[in-house]
Amino acid sequence: MQRLRQSLQRWYCQQGRDLPWRRTRDPYAIWVAEVMLQQTQVATVIPYFQRWMEALPGIPELATAPQQQVLKLWEGLGYYRRALNLHRAAQILMQEHGGQFPRNLEQVLALPGIGRTTAGGILSAAFDLPLPILEGNVKRVLARLVALPQPPARCLPLLWRLSQQLLDPEQPRTFNQALMDLGATICRPRQPRCGQCPWQADCAAYNRGQQQHLPMSEHRPSRPHKQIAVAIVLRGKEILIDRRLESSMLSGLWEFPGGKIEPGETPAECVVREVKEEIGIDIEVVAPLATIEHAYTHFTITLIAFICRYLRGEAQALQCSEVRWVEPAELSQFPFPAANQKLFPYLYAWLEARGHLL
Catalytic (active-site) positions: 34
Tell me the backbone φ, ψ of residue 76, rounded to 5 degrees: 100, -20
Phi, psi dihedrals of residue 302, rounded to the nearest 5°: -105, 120
For residue 285, report the phi and psi dihedrals to the nearest 5 degrees: -80, 130
- Sign, CA dihedral 32-34-36-41, equals positive
Q: Which helix (H) or strand (E) holds 70?
A: helix 67-74
Contact 259, 228 (CB under 8 A): yes
Distance CA 26, CA 247 (A): 32
Please state the φ and ψ torsions of residue 298, each to the nearest 5 degrees.
-110, 0
Q: How far is CA 51 from CA 57, 79, 81, 144, 355, in A?
A: 10, 18, 19, 36, 35
- The answer to whether 73 and 61 are in contact (CB under 8 A) is no
